[in-house]
């Protein structure tokens, strides 16, 4: 009976952990420096994040998608053919980004990103202002009638979503995964759905 209760408690704890919505804007600003972290919920276990830290002699930024695995929240940053885990911790009043100990990574995007970000407000990101969250990115337009979205570069898994001709797509330059025939893209629909994955280069055209 005790084992059943313990399993039930753990299941409930992990379910609540995964279902909690961390979306919002975190950060602080002074005359000398500022730091901001924007979080957008994608589904029950995935979030899009944008982090920026700037001061008198530096300006660092990174964006990506982190995943909740059990009671751990991390983003795997790919640098120099190495996977470098970055961890996130959230409370009701702040968020912390910190590197994994002994990861042996240079984190060339700047250690100033590793910091405590105070919770500021809940704010829904709109499709009309979606690109404002990015610092470095390229814009593509779909030129084929209808194109598939792949979950990875193997092209073995096609997502249920698709894009029609004329749609504009964002490709963050901070995503350093390279493919010969595919481009990584992100897109926020007007209904609020965040879509990400890989599309064929032949189906899109660089416009910016």
> Higher confidence at residue 14 or residue 128?
128
Question: Three-class SS of residue 105?
Answer: coil
Instruction: Render pLDDT for 89-129 as a digit per residue (tens, 0 to 9).
Output: 998 899 998 888 877 666 655 567 888 999 998 888 888 88
Q: What are the Cα distances from residue 72, in Å, to 79, 87, 150?
A: 21, 8, 26
pLDDT of the residue at 9: 39
Distance CA 96, CA 104 (A): 20
Q: Phi-psi bin for 24: left (phi > 0), alpha (psi -120 to 50), beta?
A: left
pLDDT of the residue at 108: 58
Q: What are the Cα distances from residue 162, in Å, to 27, 147, 148, 167, 197?
A: 35, 6, 5, 10, 10
pLDDT of the residue at 203: 97
Cα 99 from chain centroid? 16
Instruction: Render pLDDT for 17-69 as a digit per residue (tens, 0 to 9).
Output: 445 789 999 998 877 788 999 999 999 889 999 998 887 777 778 889 998 88
Task: Identify the weakest region by mean pLDDT among 81-85, 174-178, 179-183.
Answer: 174-178
pLDDT of the residue at 79: 64
Identify whether the C-beta of residue 63 lies closer than 8 Å to the C-beta of residue 55.
no
Q: What are the Cα distances from residue 169, in Å, to 104, 143, 207?
A: 34, 11, 10
- 151 closest CA partner among 141, 138, 136, 161: 161
Location of structure tokens 């504009």:
168
145 has a pLDDT exceeding 90: yes
5 has a pLDDT exceeding 60: no
> Higher confidence at residue 37 or residue 16?
37
Question: What structural domains does the chain harbor?
Answer: 2-124 (2.40.128), 129-206 (2.30.30.40)
> Higher confidence at residue 77 or residue 148?
148
Kindly give the residue spans of alpha helices, DSSP state H, lying in 65-135.
none
Instruction: Render pLDDT for 68-91 as a digit per residue (tens, 0 to 9).
Output: 887 778 888 776 667 778 899 998
């Amino acid at each position: 009976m005790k084992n059943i209760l313990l399993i039930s408690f753990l299941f409930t704890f992990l379910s609540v952990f995964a279902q909690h919505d961390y979306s919002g804007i975190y950060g602080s600003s002074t005359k000398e420096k500022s730091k901001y972290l924007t979080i957008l919920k994608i589904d029950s276990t995935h979030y899009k994040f944008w982090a920026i830290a700037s001061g008198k002699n530096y300006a660092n930024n990174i964006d990506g998608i982190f995943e909740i695995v059990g009671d751990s929240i991390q983003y795997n940053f790919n640098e120099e053919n190495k996977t470098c885990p970055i961890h996130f911790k959230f409370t009701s009043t702040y968020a912390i980004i910190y590197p994994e100990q002994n990861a042996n990574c240079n984190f060339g995007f700047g250690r100033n990103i590793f910091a405590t970000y105070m919770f500021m407000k809940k704010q829904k990101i709109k499709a009309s202002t979606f690109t404002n969250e990015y610092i470095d990115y390229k814009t593509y337009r779909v030129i084929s009638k209808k194109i598939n979205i792949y979950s990875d570069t193997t092209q073995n898994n096609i997502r249920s979503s698709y894009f029609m001709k004329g749609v504009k797509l964002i490709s963050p330059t901070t995503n350093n995964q390279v493919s010969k025939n595919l481009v990584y893209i992100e897109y926020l629909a007007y209904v609020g759905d965040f879509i990400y994955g890989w599309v064929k280069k032949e189906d899109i055209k660089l416009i910016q």
